[in-house]
Structure 1
Amino acid sequence: MKKSLCMPALHKQLAVMAIAGLAISPQASALTAASPVAAVPSSFLSDSSATSIHIPVTQSTAFSQVTAGNYYSVGLRADGSVWTWGRNLYGELGITDTTATSNMIAPVRLSTLSEMTSIASNGNGYQLGVRKDGSVWEWGNRYSTDRESQPPRQLPQISDVSQVSTLNEISFALTKDGTVKAWMRDHETGESSRPVQVEGLRKIVQLDAAAGKGYALDSSGSVWIFSAELKDKQLNLSSPSQIYGLPPLKQIYVYNSTEAYGVDAAGSAWKWSITNASSVIKLSGKASKIYPQLKVKSIQAANGYAVLLTRQGEVWTYGKKPAGKEGKVKELSGIVSISAGDTHCLAIDSKGQVWGWGANQWNEIGVPRNSGDGMEYVPVRIQTPITVVINGKLLPASFPAMMNNNLISVPLKSVVKELGASLDISPVTNGSVYTMKHQQNTVTFQIGSTEAELNGQKLALSSPAYLITGATMIPASLLKQMGIQVVWDSKLSTLSISSS
């Protein structure tokens, strides 16, 4: 298992929506009281059939890259922000509080990452990203423990990087001068070693890594391979050797030694295998074309299958995974980027919208799990990612804000902490009573109830608070009713909350 737009006109059909009982306009506006709406439907908690309003994508909110990991996903937006969703059982997502929830039902923003230009994943919970300034950042499973998560942090000993690729213990970086560096991650501490240069590689334009080997594509279209392994906590790199017998390629993707793919300048897709039975690493047999009738732009692969993106924006699968069918994915068009995971696939369309299909047991597709087998056999659009800003700062939430049935809800504990409010949870016969105090106002409520008390007076809620995968969610309107300023900007898909 391993890793891994176009600006539309602003849609005008989004008139006025009731978000958590608050009327909002398509542009930035203060929220005002609206007519009460029904409580959050039970389908919202477990069934992807629940209707979700999708905010029109703008240049800033468009996604530019996605990677499908093992039961989780990571996305990079054009504004340089990084979002993640799906399983967090082993700290895959890089959020600060790994005990908060075992999975993210919708995209959550990693608040400490900004101005990122590319991302990569080993597919097993560890990610790297490159920032605009050429620095490299890491996040996800610490590797030294089963469940501990490493929040995003910069790797201090490497710079001037344009692309990264990573395995479980060894990572690689393509620097802006076309050379390649490698470093290891200590199994016990999770700390990274000082990068060393991979000698013999020049004019490299793309990197990949799989099954203990690094792959480098140079500017002439030649593919180079080298071994990377750890012995006695030391990184050992073999001298790179060229893989002969391949046509000049423009892009490569290697899942393992028997599932390697590439695309040439003419748009032909190739598959090949390698063998290192002797001291020389070479092709096993001949490279062969797949879907020779297609003009392919790029190819991605996972265990037992590959996904092809054509120059016309079509998506084709080679192999029946992840949804049991092989051939053209008829529901998709205008696609500009793809990613293949062992159990699910992701695609970005020309508007920057992300679509997913395949397994969704852990919400890795970015929608609620359906009530059947947890599969999405046709592509569905992920839930709208929502940025939350509190008192001018990004909310470092351990769970995302969510929009469903025209409602926005926010994670209670994260919001309380950043507002400087207090929260008390007292058990009662029929559940628990939540008491939130902010400045001069005190509100009490229970999960599932559309009634609350504000300073001792009864208060009607537009929708009830609810629990979902370990998080307590409250309607954004409740904050407004407590005298807290709440502003929605649909262009940026941003909810701003202010104490003053």
Structure 2
Amino acid sequence: MRRRTFSRMALLLTFCAPLAWASSPEDAGADDVARQTLAPPTWRTLTAGYDTSMGLAGDGSVWVWGCSVNMEFGLGDAHTCPAAPVRVPGLKNIVSVAVSDFHGLALGLDGRVWVSGQASWLLGLGAPANQPTFVPIPGLTQVRAIIASDNHSLALRADGTVWGWGTNDYGQLGPLATYVLTPTQIPGLSEVTSIAAGNNHSLAVRKDGTVWAWGNNSWGALGDGTQDSRATPAPVPGLTDIVAVHAADHDASLAVSRQGTVWAWGFNNGGVLGLGEQVYMQTTPAPVPGLTRVRALATNESSALAMRWDGSVWGWGTTRSHPAPLPPRVAPGVQHTPVEVPALRGAVDLAQGHGHGLMRRLDGSVWGWGDDNWGAVGLGRAFKSSPVRLPNLQGVTTSVFAGYTTFALKQDGTVWAWGVNSLGQLGRDAGRSSPQPTPVPGLTDVTSLAFTTRPYAARADGSVWTWGATLPKPNGQPGEPPHAVQGLSDIRAVSGTGSFTLALGQDGRVWAWGSNTQGQLGDGTTTARATPALVPGLSGIEAISAHNDYALALGGDGRVWAWGNNGRGLLGDGTTTRRLTPLLVPGLTDVTHLHAGGSLALARRADGSLWGWGVRSIVDPQLPPGPYLLTSPTPITGMTNVVRMAVGEAHALALRADGRLWAWGSNFMGQLGRSTYDTDVHAPAPVPGLSGVVSFSAGAGSSQAVLSDGSVHAWGNNHSSLLGDGVSNQLLFPERVLSLFPRP
């Protein structure tokens, strides 16, 4: 049976499972403290849905755990239940997240809004189709806040206007159509600073401190003293100097004033208004008694939590799920007025779903409690009766093949390596190869990896680091330890194989250095360069991919640029002519992901289709006989609903929305995972025995996949234990890599 739905309000936080209550505000004393200036924590905010949890990390990445049944995680699966946090691919520089039972929203630093989900009316994409991964909502820019409910979504733009989409049965989107499939401005609102949405009503705070409300008013949620619903926003009488609003799912509204007073009105479901047992419905705002100096507030359908400036947390409403044994003075059931929750003192961020809760403390640690049957707490699918600290995020986010060496980037920002060490690329004395993964010493906070003539790593602070040597060293001689590459800063990604390297800046510009025999540095020459320099003519770039002697770059407008060697038609311009400067790939638009390989290049478009070019038989073995090369992008037969892809030298991998990893191309080393190897070229087919794939990579004759539990599985060429299984036998089907994680 489908989970019972209710909205998840996401501008600040959403809360649900109530907690253990203790004493009243008067018992706490008046030891309010001033704000403290602290270093940014690992976690920026937490958000919880029904059985879902989302964390926004300080580097702008988004992590999810729990149980998603409607693609709201954006992991490509309709139903996925990671029990520990996994990183959402494709999202970076995110500043806010929101989640409902049917969709997820993410707000980027650039003001764009990204969406994934299964309910087409909630996605804002116009076309009635599911979206298994996060994609930008067209035309919605300069957004500063987002809200997601089960029935509609709101976005606050920098100009103070409010835009909405979804269902509009009660006028919660204003005087618009019953279904609003693309973001549309809600008339009658300007100079708005804060927004909130319940399932069927909406709230906004204007610059002058007034609160405006519209939508369903059957239970007085609009606060105008009536029960008459309306689609036109109007001010809530008697409220001034308000800084934030919150809309509970079942027609309740709350507001926080600049002075820290909390006001409540609407339906008192489960005591959510905090106005006392005698109140069933409140059609005008009333102050919540005994509650002062509140700095943040969040609600759900039947409970509320308030964080005060003295570090205490107070709660009221339904107490059926609680993080610690209730004290004798508070009976389980309903707490009608605010009392302190001692177990949450010191929280700087709170989020709760229907039966679980999350807390972030000043030290950046995350704690969880409640019902973990679906992994929403993140502590192993068992009920947690009191807050328990979540262990450090573990697992691998991506891996990189480099000849006979493999690198893995873990979620904690460390880099692990195994295989051949002739260049000191394992981070220790040259020649001492390792059959099993070991950490590269002195390297932390890494966000992106590449290996060309030596390893390169982009770090969270925007620097790029390298180590090892460019030429093989005698056994026992050390390579260079990890150190920063001079001349590079504010870098968010690196890419490259062979003998040149690309770096993508936060400003959308691209840097290049290394060999230039085919013009792969894009500077109009064939002169090599040992130090990074800007690639002329490129700006607004969102992603890069380099392979051997050519490069691809994805612009923010969804178009692809290419330059370098074109002997195999890998620039996609319809020719085999070498290009010394970047040119646009003709006819290729709406691209969201790209990957450069040895025999083919791939691009994923916003509709989930996969396009390729290069060697015809590798790009799409299902095509009828024709020219050896496909020099222009061509859709790959049957590859729809693609989430991500990776390309090796002569084979490709693609993750589809059904959660399966597909492989095709050459299988001469068993890299397709089909329990055999041969010299034939194979059409796309699922890799047997894999589920819950989060990320993956393809090497010259090897493949790897990272699963939702953080484990790494590999198959194909295993020379020098390239696959990290401790032996050197070829693997014809996916096998778990040793040492990164113990076997369960």
TM-score (norm 1): 0.63
* Partner amino acid, structure 2, of 1:120: A
Q: Which protein shows a greater Rg?
A: 2
- Corresponding residue SS for 2:697: helix
C-alpha distance in 1 between matches for 2:180 and 2:400: 35
Distance 1:284 1:392, change over 3 A: farther
Percent of matched pairs sharing the same residue: 24
Map of 1:468 onto structure 2: none
| Cα displacement (A) at 1:418 | 1.0
Task: Tell me if 1:340 matches 2:349.
Answer: no
Task: Tell me if 1:114 matches 2:114.
Answer: no
Map of 2:115 onto structure 1: 138
| Cα displacement (A) at 1:72 | 0.7
C-alpha distance in 2 between matches for 1:366 and 1:314: 25
2:52 to 61, 66, 72: 72
* Partner amino acid, structure 2, of 1:383: P
Task: Tell me if 1:170 matches 2:152.
Answer: yes
Map of 2:242 onto structure 1: 249
1:418 to 685, 688, 697: 697
Distance 1:86 1:473, change over 3 A: farther
Distance 1:2 1:474, change over 3 A: farther
- Corresponding residue SS for 1:241: strand
Task: Tell me if 1:322 matches 2:321.
Answer: yes
Map of 2:83 onto structure 1: 105
C-alpha distance in 1 between matches for 2:70 and 2:250: 27
C-alpha distance in 1 between matches for 2:299 and 2:694: 40
Q: Which runs of 5+ in 2 are unaligned?
A: 1-5, 10-37, 123-128, 169-178, 217-229, 269-280, 327-334, 403-407, 415-436, 439-688, 706-712
C-alpha distance in 1 between matches for 2:358 and 2:740: 33
| Cα displacement (A) at 1:332 | 2.8
| Cα displacement (A) at 1:336 | 1.7
Map of 1:381 onto structure 2: 389
Map of 1:261 onto structure 2: 254
| Cα displacement (A) at 1:360 | 1.4
Map of 2:728 onto structure 1: 455
Q: How does 1:229-244 map to 2 (within 5 A)?
A: 238-244=231-237
Task: Tell me if 1:85 matches 2:65.
Answer: yes
C-alpha distance in 2 between matches for 1:285 and 1:358: 33
Say if 1:215 and 1:225, in contact at 8 Å, map to a contact too: yes
Shifted more, 158-167 versus 247-256: the winner is 247-256
Map of 1:440 onto structure 2: 719
Q: How does 1:268-307 map to 2 (within 5 A)?
A: 268-273=261-266, 284-290=282-288, 292-307=290-305
Say if 1:96 and 1:151, in contact at 8 Å, map to a contact too: yes
Map of 1:485 onto structure 2: none
Map of 2:375 onto structure 1: 363
Shifted more, 84-93 versus 136-145: the winner is 136-145
| Cα displacement (A) at 1:355 | 2.0
Distance 1:162 1:382, change over 3 A: same
Say if 1:202 and 1:218, in contact at 8 Å, map to a contact too: yes
C-alpha distance in 1 between matches for 2:94 and 2:192: 21
C-alpha distance in 2 between matches for 1:360 and 1:254: 26
| Cα displacement (A) at 1:382 | 2.5
- Computed over aligned residues only, the root mean square deviation of the Cα atoms, in angstroms, reads 4.2
C-alpha distance in 2 between matches for 1:416 and 1:239: 46
Map of 1:219 onto structure 2: 207
Shifted more, 76-85 versus 382-391: the winner is 382-391
Say if 1:215 and 1:226, in contact at 8 Å, map to a contact too: yes
Distance 1:339 1:200, change over 3 A: same
C-alpha distance in 2 between matches for 1:121 and 1:385: 21
Say if 1:84 and 1:110, in contact at 8 Å, map to a contact too: yes
| Cα displacement (A) at 1:300 | 0.7
TM-score (norm 2): 0.43
| Cα displacement (A) at 1:87 | 0.5
Say if 1:267 and 1:295, in contact at 8 Å, map to a contact too: yes
| Cα displacement (A) at 1:226 | 2.1
C-alpha distance in 1 between matches for 2:69 and 2:413: 20
Say if 1:93 and 1:125, in contact at 8 Å, map to a contact too: no
C-alpha distance in 2 between matches for 1:267 and 1:472: 57
* Partner amino acid, structure 2, of 1:353: S
- Corresponding residue SS for 1:220: coil
| Cα displacement (A) at 1:339 | 2.3
Say if 1:268 and 1:292, in contact at 8 Å, map to a contact too: no
Offset from partner CA, 1:11-41 (integer Å, 9 cap, x none): xxxxxxxxxxxxxxxxxxxxxxxxxxxxxxx
C-alpha distance in 1 between matches for 2:198 and 2:310: 29
Task: Tell me if 1:308 matches 2:316.
Answer: no
Higher relative contact order structure (alpha carbons within 8 Å, sequence separation ≥ 6): 1
Say if 2:715 and 2:735, in contact at 8 Å, map to a contact too: no
- Corresponding residue SS for 2:66: strand
Task: Tell me if 1:126 matches 2:79.
Answer: no
| Cα displacement (A) at 1:307 | 1.1
Say if 1:106 and 1:382, in contact at 8 Å, map to a contact too: no
| Cα displacement (A) at 1:477 | 4.3
Offset from partner CA, 1:219-255 (integer Å, 9 cap, x none): 2221111239xxxxxxxx9221111133532211111
Q: Which runs of 5+ in 1 are unaligned?
A: 5-57, 229-236, 276-282, 425-433, 446-451, 458-470, 480-500
Offset from partner CA, 1:262-308 (integer Å, 9 cap, x none): 21122122221179xxxxxxx94443333524421111111211111
Q: How does 1:173-184 map to 2 (within 5 A)?
A: 173-184=155-166
Aligned residues: 364
Map of 1:44 onto structure 2: none
* Partner amino acid, structure 1, of 2:377: I
C-alpha distance in 1 between matches for 2:401 and 2:208: 49
Distance 1:61 1:267, change over 3 A: closer
C-alpha distance in 1 between matches for 2:741 and 2:348: 40
Say if 1:96 and 1:150, in contact at 8 Å, map to a contact too: yes
C-alpha distance in 1 between matches for 2:350 and 2:714: 45
C-alpha distance in 2 between matches for 1:415 and 1:166: 25
Distance 1:340 1:90, change over 3 A: same
Say if 1:134 and 1:160, in contact at 8 Å, map to a contact too: yes
| Cα displacement (A) at 1:329 | 2.6
Distance 1:113 1:177, change over 3 A: same
Distance 1:242 1:144, change over 3 A: closer
Say if 1:251 and 1:263, in contact at 8 Å, map to a contact too: yes
Distance 1:257 1:70, change over 3 A: closer
